[in-house]
Copies of this chain bind each other. A is one copy, B any other.
Amino acid sequence: MFDLEESPGNIMDMTEGNSLHKSKHDTGSVGNTDDGQKYDSGGVSYDFSCIYSKDLLPAEDGEEATKHFLQELVNILMAHVSKSIKRSSKVLDFHHPHQLKEGLEGFNLELSDQPENLEQILVDCRDTLKYGVKTGHPRFFNQLSTGLDIIGLAGEWLTSTANTNMFTYEISPVFVLMEEVVLRKMHTIIGWKEEDGDGIFCPGGSMSNLYSVLLARFHLFPAVKTHGMSAIPHLALFTSAHSHYSIKKAAAVLGIGSENVVLIRCDERGKMLPSELNARINEAKIKGLVPFYVNATAGTTVYGAFDPLNEIADISEHHGLWMHVDHSRAHSVTWNPHKMMCVPLQCSAILVKKKGLLQECNQLCAEYLFQPDKHYDVSYDTGDKSIQCGRHVDIFKLWLMWKAKKKSQLAHPLQGSEGFEAQVNHCLENSEYLYYKLKRRTDFQLVFKGKVAPKIKAKMMEEGFAMISYQPLEDKVNFFRCVFSNPATQREDIDFLLDEIVRLGSEL
């Protein structure tokens, strides 16, 4: 266990000098921040060493202890947020699995049979953050989501405190309506008509993609819901060779079979070739398969390539296929605000052009949950639209961020994050800047055969000052892939990254 007696200071006090705590037992500090920085908490603090979780609410006299405990936690979290944003701090403090499992400086992952006091619980919280990865750090370029939006964070804290579920209006009246408001806004942005459109937030982009394949299959062959795949023809679906693996996964899960996903060849920039798509659809038909779905990718995983959406839409319409993509001519769209919009994880929506289809495809009308004889408009019991039963409230943080940001053309991309548009533009400008710098550097011109990128990344993780991803693709050996979604990242961080790669590479 961490020896608290040896701690040189107090956990950061948010008020920087003003005491947050009425002294119950003036026993001094709870612990120090992980870099040993001292914060003045006014010399008094609440004694967590002799109280336990049972002393918190709903215990009869638990209110004061609860307040102090949550306040101390917030101090730890706030210190983490402040530190995460600082370029002088490490992105990660890397340890191998066996090292973390053995226990580091008293941080013990194992569960014993005795309850820990709240002092130890707070130390555990601090250590969990210490040995984790600071995904909000300006030099975290790794996949997939980076940055920490404070309004989004506030939204998540409130959501956890509300501790409810999205399945019915009766237990989530506000959140259910917020989902409706935000989905309608998203439909407008895609370009669907006011009267069109349906959708649901679900746990991640892969699940959204699974929903799209599920809906397309049901739309064309509604018998599949009750009779199963044996009652319908052999299906084929189409996606680019550079698309996300979740389409294949969906086909495997849904009983279509991953080999019935036809991967369409791309050009050298990673865009699907429409002529290839058309040829492969015809080929599948000749083989006796029934093409029913095409996924066009607007931003591939590795190159960030955009498939030619209109040409693909023409082909889909010609063959009567369901088109899934981020595009107004599509039948369905996966939209992940937890990516470039920097909404805290997780936040993903499946948007469906045809109203009522989600309900028709997924409803089973369980009468113990979705009673039709309630005293309010039960069309707001949206739970039966989903393939889940309970559903996490992912909407509030997005709604709150949208309220706080709004559309704004005014803010300069580098001056702030007002408006999602400015925020996304800032990310795009970062990637242009990276491209500009790379073109001008001679030390980045060659991709050596071998394992350069993994070795540089390994050294980078061990040193912990930046983090980036890599992978091979087709004929290319491992190369770096840089992700920008963090508003905190500035040009100096990109310069730092390039210099680090060169420095670490030259030491190989």
A residues 359-409 touching B (CB-CB < 8 Å) = 362, 364, 366-369, 371, 373-377, 380, 387-393, 396, 399-408
Please name all residues of chain B whose beta carbon is closer than 8 Å to the beta carbon of A194 when the two chains form the complex.
none
B230 touches A257 (CB 8 A): yes
A254 touches B253 (CB 8 A): yes
Q: State how many angstroms separate the Cβ of A257 from the closest Cβ of chain B.
A: 3
Please name all residues of chain B whose beta carbon is closer than 8 Å to the beta carbon of A416 when the two chains form the complex.
54, 59
B129 touches A258 (CB 8 A): no
A63 touches B82 (CB 8 A): yes
Does chain B have a CB within 8 A of A442? no
Q: State how many angstroms separate the Cβ of A491 from the closest Cβ of chain B.
A: 14
Please classify how large the interface on chain A is, using the bins under 10, 10 to 19, 20 to 34, 35 or more. 35 or more
Closest to A154 in B: B73
A74-B150 Cα distance, complex, nearest whole Å:
13
Closest to A151 in B: B53
A95-B170 Cα distance, complex, nearest whole Å:
10
Please name all residues of chain B whose beta carbon is closer than 8 Å to the beta carbon of A125 when the two chains form the complex.
154, 158, 400
Closest to A346 in B: B392
Please name all residues of chain B whose beta carbon is closer than 8 Å to the beta carbon of A229 when the two chains form the complex.
228-230, 255-257
A451-B372 Cα distance, complex, nearest whole Å:
12
B165 touches A345 (CB 8 A): yes
Q: List the one stretch of A28-36, A136-144, A264-272, A314-322 in contact with chain B.
A: A136-144
Does chain B have a CB within 8 A of A49? no
Does chain B have a CB within 8 A of A312? no
Q: State how many angstroms separate the Cβ of A242 from the closest Cβ of chain B.
A: 10
A residues 481-498 touching B (CB-CB < 8 Å) = 481, 486-488
B404 touches A53 (CB 8 A): yes
Given A132-B173, A260-B228, does the pair A81, B57 have CB atoms closer than 8 Å?
yes
Does chain B have a CB within 8 A of A280? no
